[in-house]
């Protein structure tokens, strides 16, 4: 597990301290950082359900709301995070959680390789993650295992490829639309 110091702010937030105290010994954390005051945990894909359940149920954390779920493609920019290269990871699924009760936020990231972009669906923990996961599948091709209805949401069924991947050219044409105007 690697750790990056807070940039600018000294000290570790309560959220981070608590998360590290519990998740650290479980051996699921790859990396943590607190850039610009956003507490971030990086965890293994296979541990995501365990981590999320802990974050939601823990008395002092209580992350009852899944604010945002998206993915990032780091193709050609793997050096941006120290853990991406060693893991041969290309994608990261990014979860933003918020606790209404405690009024704090956390970001959880899951690095995924190009060969196996699989991660467990968290719809069982937050039902609201349903469409967000469909969107990440639609645009990045990340597969959420256990999702009840994993199909395209913003694009149409016949769409080929996943357009937000960095190797999908901005001007690429789709077969239904035809090669050039």
Give contact residues for another protein (rule: CB under 8 A). Answer: 7-8, 35-36, 38, 40, 64-68, 70, 72-73, 77, 80, 94, 96, 98, 100, 103, 105, 107, 126-132, 135, 139, 152-156, 163-164, 170
- Cβ proximity to another protein, 22 vs 163, nearer residue: 163
Number of H helices, E strands in the chain: 4, 8
C-beta of 105: minimal distance to another protein in Å? 7
- Cβ proximity to another protein, 58 vs 64, nearer residue: 64
- Cβ proximity to another protein, 51 vs 71, nearer residue: 71
CB 84 within 8 A of CB 78: yes
- Cβ proximity to another protein, 50 vs 105, nearer residue: 105
- % helix / strand / coil in the chain, to the nearest 5? 25, 25, 50
Q: Report d(CA 179, CA 173) in Å as an integer.
A: 6
C-beta of 78: minimal distance to another protein in Å? 10
- Cβ proximity to another protein, 4 vs 46, nearer residue: 4
Residue 175's nearest CA partner among 161, 151, 164, 166 is 161
CB 66 within 8 A of CB 24: no
What the block records as the tokens of 26 is 């479980």
C-beta of 136: minimal distance to another protein in Å? 10
Residue with tokens 């994993």: 150
C-beta of 143: minimal distance to another protein in Å? 19
What the block records as the tokens of 142 is 């990340």
C-beta of 71: minimal distance to another protein in Å? 9
């Amino acid at each position: 597990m690697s750790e990056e110091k807070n940039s600018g702010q000294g000290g570790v937030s309560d959220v981070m301290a608590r998360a590290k105290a519990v998740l650290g010994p479980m051996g699921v954390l790859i990396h943590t950082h607190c850039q610009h005051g956003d507490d971030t945990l990086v965890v293994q894909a296979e541990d995501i359900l365990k981590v999320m359940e802990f974050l939601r149920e823990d008395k002092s954390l209580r992350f009852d709301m899944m604010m945002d779920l998206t993915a990032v493609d780091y193709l050609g920019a793997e050096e941006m995070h120290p853990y991406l290269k060693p893991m041969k990871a290309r994608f990261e699924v990014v979860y933003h959680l918020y606790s209404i009760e405690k009024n704090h936020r956390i970001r959880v990231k899951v690095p995924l390789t190009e060969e196996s972009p699989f991660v467990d669906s968290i719809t069982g923990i937050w039902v609201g993650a349903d469409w967000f996961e469909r969107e990440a599948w639609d645009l990045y091709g990340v597969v959420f295992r256990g999702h009840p209805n994993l199909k395209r949401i913003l694009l149409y069924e016949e769409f080929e490829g996943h357009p937000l991947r960095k190797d999908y050219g901005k001007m690429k044409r789709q077969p239904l639309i035809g090669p050039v105007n």
